[in-house]
Amino acid sequence: MLSYIIPFFLLILVVVFIHEYGHYYFAKKYGVGVTDFSIGFGKEIFGWNDQSGTRWKICAIPLGGYVKFFGDRNVFSQADQEKILKQYNTEDQHKLFVLKPLYQRALIVFGGPLANFLLAILIFFSVYTFVGKDFTPAVINEVQNDSPAMVAGLKMNDIIDTIDGNKVKSIMEVSKFIMMSTDEFIDFTVIRSGQDLNFKVKPNMVEGKDNLGNKVIKRMVGIKLGAYNNEVNHVKLGPAKALFYAVNEVYYVSVSSLKYIGSMIKGTGDSSQLGGPIRIAKISGQVAEFGILPFISMMAYISISLGLINLFPIPMLDGGHLMFYGIEKVLGRPLSQKVQEGFFRIGMFMLLSLMFFTTFNDLKDLGLF
């Protein structure tokens, strides 16, 4: 149990700190007072005050964090400006978040998700620069009898060029693109005898286990892969190429995640794969056993997920506040306090429902249901 808890705490500490620091950075940049910078919720375990009066603290429940601004009652409401102006002197008014221009408030809110995406880019950039990236072309060594691949027409010695329009640059990307596919058919482009050929493969949905032993629903097409000419091409990239591929990976994961969520909304996706803190803790502990490189790579993917989820237009999340600012820009005034509170109640219900659902999946994954 301890081998799961320590990596999980470390992962959450870094990813949440970076997210909240994004908010903190832009708040300080635009002169907003920050009274609290907390990792976790609930009772404070330990903390300290800096020279500007910000209380930096670690709290008992390590499932998130927050940055509290000076004068914060409802930090993202601007509906009661007149009341606020009467409560603070001119000097203190300059430190209030709610009195800042719209673009500054939007950047302060967007700073959290932005920091998560930048962390992921930095991790991938570092891996590609100092460890390297695989560019070994994927060749089909075997097509299993009566498999979806055989039915579709794939053959041995086909070189896989693209999957669902994504360029396949290495063997490892084949399983990733198949796994992240959400449509009924997976589009394969292969090179056979110098010609590009297109195939539509309908994968079998098979219950199995991933490399860590966790139960998953796999999309199986029935092929075995090998390296082209049996030559492995693993190279360290220069700064420009490393940055390009790092940004591309963050973009691909973000788009694929949105497609996956869209497929669940339409009822075609597998919602059983959604996990919460328990599953993250379990997987982070398992991945940590394989070494620091897989662990920080997982940290990058979790950071992308945190940044992406926070941009959803759900009240209580950063994206919900940005949605309010968009409405404010169109209307020329903020929504009333009553309307905002109604939206926040809806957002709270949605988030609690999601937490319940993911926790249920986690417990089911542990065999408790």
Contact 163, 174 (CB under 8 A): yes
Strands 215-220 and 138-143 turn out to be unpaired
- CB hemisphere CA count around 149 (13 angstroms): 23
Residue 286, pLDDT score: 61
Residue 346, pLDDT score: 82
Question: First-to-last CA distance in the chain?
Answer: 20
**Cα angle 133-215-271, degrees, rounded to a multiple of 5:** 90
Considering the domain delimited by 133-235, tell me its CATH architecture: Roll (2.30)
State the Cα–Cα distance between residues 8 and 279, nearest whole angstrom: 10
Residue 369, pLDDT score: 45
Concatenated DSSP letters of 143-191: E-TT-HHHHHT--TTPEEEEETTEE--SHHHHHHHHHH--SSSEEEEEE
The two three-digit tokens of residue 15, written as one number: 């990813």
Three-class DSSP category at 194:
coil
Residue 156, pLDDT score: 92
> Does the active-site annotation cover 207?
no
Which residue did the predictor score with more confidence, 214 or 181?
A: 181
The two three-digit tokens of residue 263, written as one number: 């497929």
State the Cα–Cα distance between residues 286 and 294, nearest whole angstrom: 10
Residues in CB range of 369: below 8 A, 6 or more apart: 360, 363
The two three-digit tokens of residue 276, written as one number: 């919460």
Which residue did the predictor score with more confidence, 131 or 214?
A: 131
**Which residues are 217's β-sheet partners?**
207
Total residue length of the chain: 369
pLDDT band at 288 (very low <50, low <70, confident <90, very high): low
State the Cα–Cα distance between residues 170 and 174, nearest whole angstrom: 7
Chain segment 312-321, per-residue pLDDT in tens: 988 888 998 8
Residue 281, pLDDT score: 55
When the pLDDT of each residue in the chain is averaged and rounded to a whole number, the result is 83
Residue 94, pLDDT score: 84
Determine which of 19-28, 63-72, 98-107, 184-193 has the lowest per-residue pLDDT on average: 63-72
| Predicted confidence (pLDDT) at residue 57 exceeds the cutoff of 90 | yes
pLDDT band at 366 (very low <50, low <70, confident <90, very high): very low
Domain ranges of the chain: 2-130+301-365, 133-235
pLDDT band at 349 (very low <50, low <70, confident <90, very high): confident
Q: For residue 352, is it left (φ>0), alpha (ψ between -120 and 50) or beta?
A: alpha
Chain segment 322-344, per-residue pLDDT in tens: 998 998 899 888 877 778 778 87
Residue 39, pLDDT score: 92
Rounded mean pLDDT, 54-78: 78
| Predicted confidence (pLDDT) at residue 188 exceeds the cutoff of 60 | yes
Residue 126, pLDDT score: 96
Residue 294, pLDDT score: 83
Residue 368, pLDDT score: 44
Sole residue written with tokens 């907390």 = 38
Maximum C-alpha span of the chain: 79
Rounded mean pLDDT, 255-278: 68
Three-class DSSP category at 265:
helix
pLDDT band at 357 (very low <50, low <70, confident <90, very high): low
| Predicted confidence (pLDDT) at residue 201 exceeds the cutoff of 90 | yes
State the Cα–Cα distance between residues 347 and 341, nearest whole angstrom: 10
State the Cα–Cα distance between residues 74 and 337, nearest whole angstrom: 9
Which residue did the predictor score with more confidence, 355 or 120?
A: 120
| Strand residue runs (E) in 210-356 | 215-220, 223-227, 234-235
Residue 287, pLDDT score: 63
| Predicted confidence (pLDDT) at residue 21 exceeds the cutoff of 60 | yes
The two three-digit tokens of residue 265, written as one number: 């909304």
Residues in CB range of 190: below 8 A, 6 or more apart: 140, 154, 158, 159, 160, 161, 196, 197, 199
Q: Burial, 188: exposed, middle or buried (Cβ in 10 Å; 0-12, 13-18, 19+)?
A: buried
Chain segment 217-233, per-residue pLDDT in tens: 778 899 998 887 777 78
* Nearest CA-CA partner of 26 in 124, 151, 113: 113
